Amino acid sequence: MKILVTGGAGYVGSVLVPMLLARNYQVRVLDNLMYGGRGLLPCFASRNLEFMKGDVRDEAAYARALEGAEVIVNLAAIVGYPACKKDARQAEEINVGGVRNLVRLRKKDQLILQASTGSNYGAVLGDLCTEETPLSPLTVYGRTKTEAEQVLRSAGNVVMYRFATAFGVSNRMRLDLLINDFVHQAVKIRNLVVYEKTFKRTFLNVRDLAASFLFAIDHADTMRDQTYNVGHESMNASKEEIAQLIRKKFDFYLHFAEVGEDEDKRNYEVSYEKIRKTGYQPTVSLDEGIDELIRSMAVVEIRNEFNNV
């Protein structure tokens, strides 16, 4: 089987691509190397990896990348509200325009696995979000990913995953993700200031996130043309709960501020019953993932700037 992974040199792709190669799939990665490509370096030992430097906004490059692929894992995106706010036009072009190009250029029998997000729900107070909960995105990131879902839903032959907030160690590390950032500040500068401590999110280790795509490949016949929240209820947690869990493992100064506001107003709990009924279950708990992150800080450099989260 030949699989195309767009954005495959990124945080998730650097975990997913080795998993695909371990199954002896033929893997083609299309990535513009916006964040570099070092996360994929170990993968070049495999003759089953083909790398193409290119952009999903370039129709000619995209068409070449799609040739012969049976499955497309679409990871190419500007991810997170800060990055999308910084360049809303680019976010629109990649997150939505790239998906429009994909739908226009792919053959109908090429299955699309779309990485979407729980950010599409916005701020949902008091209710448990299911796949049927109305979408009310509050940020450029959420709006562009919601629009991308609408484009794909009309196209068909797609499995859409609304992921919990990712965390954990990747060869292409991200320190802007909430848990990764909390651990980084706690371990490297021994200081963490948290505001809006009661705000809840749901989390998913990056290894489980990547593995969910393998699960979709294996179960495409029953999952096709469905949308799934991907995560587990046991990892619904508030900012305060995450910070306190880290402090149980590593001593640092922790302050809960009464002032301060996160522009990303996500505050919700999510149901994962639908995907659980398919047989998918995450394997890495919050506790295990945070332990792993703490250990990884031994080789992670201190960022020059820190923002309260």
Q: The domain containing residue 17 runs over which residues?
A: 2-167+203-230
Residue 292 falls inside a structural domain: no
Of 290, 54, 1, 281, nearest to 169 by C-alpha is 290
Residue 173 forms part of a structural domain: no
Mean pLDDT for 1-6 is 98
Whether residue 18 is contained in a domain is answered as yes
Cβ-proximal residues to 231 (8 Å cutoff; 6+ apart), any chain: 118, 163, 164, 202, 203, 204, 270, 272, 282
User: For 233-259, what is the mean pLDDT?
Assistant: 94
Interaxial angle between packed helices 286-296 and 239-249, expressed in degrees from 0 to 180 and rounded to the nearest 10: 60
- Residue 231 and residue 278 in contact, taking contact as beta carbons nearer than 8 Å: no
Of the pLDDT bands very low, low, confident and very high (cuts 50, 70, 90), residue 307 is very low
3-class DSSP assignment, residue 146 = helix
Average pLDDT, the chain: 93
Integer angstrom CA distances of residue 70 from 150, 157, 287: 22, 11, 37
Is the pLDDT at 287 greater than 60, yes or no? yes
Q: Residue 21 corresponds to which tokens in the numbers above?
A: 């190669």
Q: With 70 as the cut, is the pLDDT of residue 308 above it? A: no
Q: Which of 227-231, 249-253, 277-281, 300-304 has the lowest mean pLDDT?
A: 300-304
Rg, C-alpha atoms of the chain: 19
Q: Bigger pLDDT: 62 or 304?
A: 62
Is the pLDDT at 289 greater than 50, yes or no? yes
Q: Is it the case that residue 145 has pLDDT exceeding 80? A: yes
Is the per-residue pLDDT at 125 higher than 80? no
Q: pLDDT over 70 for what percent of the chain?
A: 94
pLDDT tens by residue, 67-104: 999 999 999 999 988 899 899 999 999 999 999 999 99
Q: What is the pTM of this model?
A: 0.94
* Per-residue burial over 216-241, b = 16 or more CB atoms within 10 Å of its CB, e = otherwise: bbeeeeebeeebbbbbbeebbbbbbe
Q: Is residue 197 part of a domain?
A: no
Counted domains in the chain: 1
The CATH number that applies at residue 95 is 3.40.50.720
Please state, in angstroms and rounded to a whole number, the distance separating the CA atoms of residues 73 and 265.
Answer: 28
- For position 251, what pLDDT does the model report? 94
In whole angstroms, what is the distance from residue 296 CA to residue 273 CA? Answer: 32
Amino acid at residue number 279: G
Residue 294 falls inside a structural domain:
no
Digit-coded pLDDT (tens) for 229-242 = 999 999 999 999 99
172-181 average pLDDT score? 95
Amino acid sitting at position 146: T
| pLDDT the model gives residue 303 | 65
In a domain, 273, yes or no: no
Would you say residue 309 has pLDDT above 80? no
Q: Which residues contact residue 163 at a Cβ distance below 8 angstroms, ignoring those fewer than 6 apart? A: 115, 116, 117, 118, 204, 209, 212, 230, 231
